[in-house]
Structure 1
């Protein structure tokens, strides 16, 4: 297989891995946050004790967890689907080009 074809295949595999990782992240987010919301009273008692039920703000940690994690998930989506750092893609392309050139030079000397 030519190096350019191999490069394209490796890049496609890496891209699929990134997308698969993002979907796993979404799945974990949904499962854990659904469980937390359904079991919020029990979770609050487990983490903060029975006295926490007298304070309605004690359960806010569950919502903040979802907000913060949701923000991280949004950043992950933007990184995977290429809407934020166009410069990262250009940097990757330059690094791959440099590595391929180095490999070609080393092949000449072998």
Structure 2
């Protein structure tokens, strides 16, 4: 009984650590990309571009875009959202393979 409680506590601690890591990642993403965007826009405006030209240039958003994709994958992993491989899907696959194994083993009885 005590071991079961300890295991649940370890799992909960691991989930909290993962969630904390995601929140730190998201905070760093926002702060660093805000800084990079400000520096990039300032630099481009110093080279004669207008504010709109500097802000809406693809080069301004390339780092946030790709880093954002990585952040999205991190969120999916930590928050457990998966439209393709949900817990229900896993359970169905397990049942399917167990049934296939049962049928296969009955062939050779």
Q: Structure 1-normalised TM-score?
A: 0.60
Cα separation, 1, equivalents of 2:16 and 2:41: 39
Matched with 1:11 is 11
SS at match of 1:39: helix
The question of 1:72 aligning with 2:63 is answered no
Matched with 1:31 is 31
Higher helix share: 1
Gaps of 5+ in 1: 45-49, 91-110
Gaps of 5+ in 2: 91-109
Once the two structures are TM-superposed, the CA of residue 43 in structure 1 deviates from its matched residue by 6.1
C-alpha offsets along residues 66-86 of structure 1, whole Å, 9 cap, x if unaligned?
Answer: 100011111100000112354
Cα separation, 1, equivalents of 2:25 and 2:81: 18
User: CA RMSD of the aligned region, Å?
Assistant: 2.8
Matched with 2:59 is 61
Aligned length: 80
Higher Rg of the two aligned structures? 2
C-alpha offsets along residues 34-70 of structure 1, whole Å, 9 cap, x if unaligned?
Answer: 00111114667xxxxx9xx47979x643311010001
Name segments (4+ residues, structure 1) moved above 6 Å.
54-57
Alpha-carbon distance change, 43 to 15 in structure 1, aligned in 2, over 3 angstroms:
farther
